[in-house]
């Protein structure tokens, strides 16, 4: 398999974790989002949505795209270890927690949004940084509200084994790390992120642990 | 079942379509997002993430939340008619198309984001409107890029029966309708949205067809 990604992409981080949890390896092909390589013709033919990740799983078939769709595909084709619990209501809970991070938080601070803030409103680096911190904080607060009130929360988001929600929560924490945002106001989120980071599949997928990253994670 | 929603919420629209496709009915409880009712204590106990929709499926269990998680739950518990094709790579394609609309586009123009644009950058109504149109257009372009190049696209996003991707594409079109954005530059998106709108399950779920909406859809 070939994974088009970028060291700091949180969506790529999610796929990296899931691949490792499932015991799979993929060659990673870097697409430099900060230099705009996703807009070049060569990459447009890989993913017309001009975003990473994209996962080539079979020559001659279009690459998979969108991190959560890739995670679901991994779960359907390599069921062990499970990223989702067996019971439908529990699966809905895990998917919904995952979406808080991957759909309601992460898309609000990606490079194409930061660029629009600068171009349309003259937002400087500090203002863009505060924007990102605001929405990462809102995502953490939403996760905390759900996790802290529910007895289904365990060592991880759902019980005592890591799954799809933990992968997305961990990517939110990785985003906070890159923004220098302390998640201490949301202790359950912080606790679960630490439990994830103690696992090699997570720590090795962290943006700051990738080739090309400016520093090592704390 | 009880669906907490709002007439103009695109995420609520998605759940309305799916419920009707599966032949289910839910009593809809309005949460006025424009007045900020989602931030009141009464609603916070329903969904700590302070967003609609939330679906009460069983008394004594926390409501389901996040539209895509609700769609997956419906698919798992009421398989017919199917919202996803049977083959894993095809399922990944449909989910990824759905996520372009529901994760990469819609969250960028919800009320809480529009409010931040106004508060942080003094964006007036026109600037907020242009922001919304820009990102809806980007979402439509991403969908068009995938749909137009792939022979798996049929009358609908994947073959000739409507499914999860169509529900999300239709919600993107409903957002465009509310912003007054013409999707003509993306003809495949427009064609599939029209095919959806010809089906009662979709048309009846359109934001502008709900009680409380200011006008009827064109």
CB contact under 8 A, A131 and B112: no
Work out how many CB contacts closer than 8 A connect A with B.
147
Contacts of A65 in chain B (CB under 8 A): 96
User: What digits encode the pLDDT tens for the residues A162-206?
Assistant: 999 999 999 999 999 999 999 999 999 999 999 999 999 999 999
Residues A124/A151, Cβ–Cβ less than 8 Å: no
Residues B140/B172, Cβ–Cβ less than 8 Å: yes
CB contact under 8 A, A88 and B73: yes
Lowest mean pLDDT among A85-94, A95-104, B28-37, B150-159: B28-37
Alpha helices in B22-149 (DSSP H): 41-44, 67-77, 88-102, 111-121, 125-149
Position B173 pLDDT exceeds 50: yes
Position B218 pLDDT exceeds 60: no
In this predicted structure, what is the pLDDT of residue B58? Answer: 87
CB contact under 8 A, A93 and B138: no
Burial class (CB in 10 A: 0-12, 13-18, 19+), A76: middle
CA distances, A148 to each of A6, A144, A161, A196 (Å):
33, 6, 17, 17
Residues A78/A24, Cβ–Cβ less than 8 Å: yes
CATH number of the A88-209 domain: 1.20.1050.10
H-run or E-run covering A56: strand A54-56
Position A218 pLDDT exceeds 50: no
Residues B68/A103, Cβ–Cβ less than 8 Å: yes
Give percent of chain B with pLDDT exceeding 90. Answer: 92
Q: What is the ipTM of this complex?
A: 0.97
Q: Which CATH class is domain B2-77?
A: alpha beta
In this prediction, residues B176-193 reach a mean pLDDT of 97
Q: Domain extents for chain A?
A: 2-77, 88-209
For chain B, report the end-to-end CA distance as a whole number of angstroms: 30
- Angle value at C-alpha B45, between B40 and B46, nearest 5 degrees: 100
Distance CA A17, CA A167 (A): 7
Considering the entire predicted model, what is its pTM? Answer: 0.97
Pairing of β B64-65 and β B27-30: unpaired
Task: Name the closest residue on chain B to residue A147, using Cα atoms.
Answer: B48
In this prediction, residues A28-42 reach a mean pLDDT of 92
Nearest Cα to Cα of residue B51 among A113, A132, A105 = A105
Question: Which residues, in sequence order, are CB contacts of B100 under 8 Å at separation 6+?
Answer: A49, A66, B139, B142, B143, B146, B168
Task: Please provide the average confidence, as pLDDT, over all residues in chain B.
Answer: 96
The token pair that represents A181 in the structure block: 């945002």
Position A89 pLDDT exceeds 50: yes
Task: Please list the residues that pair with A142 across neighbouring strands.
Answer: none
According to DSSP, residue B63 is labeled: P
Substitution target from A10, A11, A48 for chain B, most B beta carbons within 10 A: A48
According to DSSP, residue A163 is labeled: -
Distance CA B104, CA A109 (A): 11
* Numbers of helices and strands, H then E, in chain B: 9, 4
CB contact under 8 A, B61 and A120: no
* Numbers of helices and strands, H then E, in chain A: 9, 4
Distance CA B149, CA B143 (A): 10
Contacts of B73 in chain A (CB under 8 A): 88-89, 91-92
CATH number of the B88-208 domain: 1.20.1050.10
Task: Please provide the average confidence, as pLDDT, over all residues in chain A.
Answer: 96
According to DSSP, residue A161 is labeled: S
User: What digits encode the pLDDT tens for the residues B67-117?
Assistant: 999 999 999 999 999 999 999 999 999 999 999 999 999 999 999 999 999
Residues in chain A, how many? 218
Residues B164/B100, Cβ–Cβ less than 8 Å: no
Distance CA B89, CA B150 (A): 13
Pairing of β A54-56 and β A2-5: antiparallel
Nearest Cα to Cα of residue A15 among A44, A48, A57 = A57
């Amino acid at each position: 398999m070939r994974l088009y990604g970028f060291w700091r992409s949180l969506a790529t981080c999610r796929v990296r974790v899931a691949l490792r949890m499932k015991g799979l390896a993929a060659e990673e092909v870097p697409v430099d989002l900060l230099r705009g390589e996703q807009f070049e013709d060569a990459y447009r033919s890989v993913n017309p949505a001009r975003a990473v990740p994209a996962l080539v799983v079979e020559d001659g078939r279009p690459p998979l795209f969108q991190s959560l769709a890739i995670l679901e595909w991994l779960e359907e084709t390599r069921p062990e270890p499970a990223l989702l619990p067996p019971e439908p209501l529990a699966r809905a809970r895990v998917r919904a927690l995952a979406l808080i991070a991957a759909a309601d938080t992460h898309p609000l601070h990606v490079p194409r949004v930061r660029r629009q803030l600068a171009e349309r409103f003259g937002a400087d680096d500090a203002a863009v940084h505060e924007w990102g911190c605001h929405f990462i904080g809102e995502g953490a607060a939403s996760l905390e509200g759900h996790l802290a009130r529910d007895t289904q929360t365990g060592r991880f988001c759902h019980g005592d084994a890591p799954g799809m929600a933990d992968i997305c929560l961990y990517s939110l924490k990785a985003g906070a790390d890159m923004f220098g945002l302390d998640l201490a106001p949301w202790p359950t989120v912080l606790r679960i992120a630490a439990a994830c980071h103690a696992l090699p599949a997570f720590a090795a997928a962290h943006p700051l642990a990738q080739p090309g990253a400016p520093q090592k994670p704390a």
